[in-house]
């Protein structure tokens, strides 16, 4: 390659670099350094509170028990 060709390639690359920099800056904008308020979290304690007796009592529904609705004699309900 001649010196003239190398100079043209460097010129095109630098113009492309500058244009892409400004295009990306226009599309994405700049980072903002705004102050952010963060919620403060209480420390974890070792004490355990008793659960509510309105929810956890001997008459409450046990979600781990299998509930059967109807007669399960038909094992293939979608076949004809």
Domain that holds residue 2: 1-28
- On average, the pLDDT of the chain sits at 85
Determine the average pLDDT of the residues in 15-20. 97
Q: What total number of domains does the chain contain?
A: 1
Domain annotation covers residue 62: no
Domain annotation covers residue 45: no
Q: Whole-angstrom Cα distance, residue 51 to residue 53?
A: 6
- 14 pLDDT exceeds 60? yes
Q: Grade residue 57 by pLDDT with cuts at 50, 70 and 90.
A: confident
């Amino acid at each position: 390659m001649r010196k003239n060709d190398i100079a043209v390639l460097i010129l095109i690359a630098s113009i492309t670099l500058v244009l892409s920099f400004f295009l990306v800056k226009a599309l994405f904008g700049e980072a903002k350094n705004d102050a952010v308020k963060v919620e403060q979290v209480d420390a974890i304690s070792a004490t355990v509170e008793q659960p509510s007796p309105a929810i956890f009592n001997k008459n409450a529904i046990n979600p781990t028990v299998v509930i059967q609705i109807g007669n399960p004699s038909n094992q293939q309900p979608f076949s004809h």
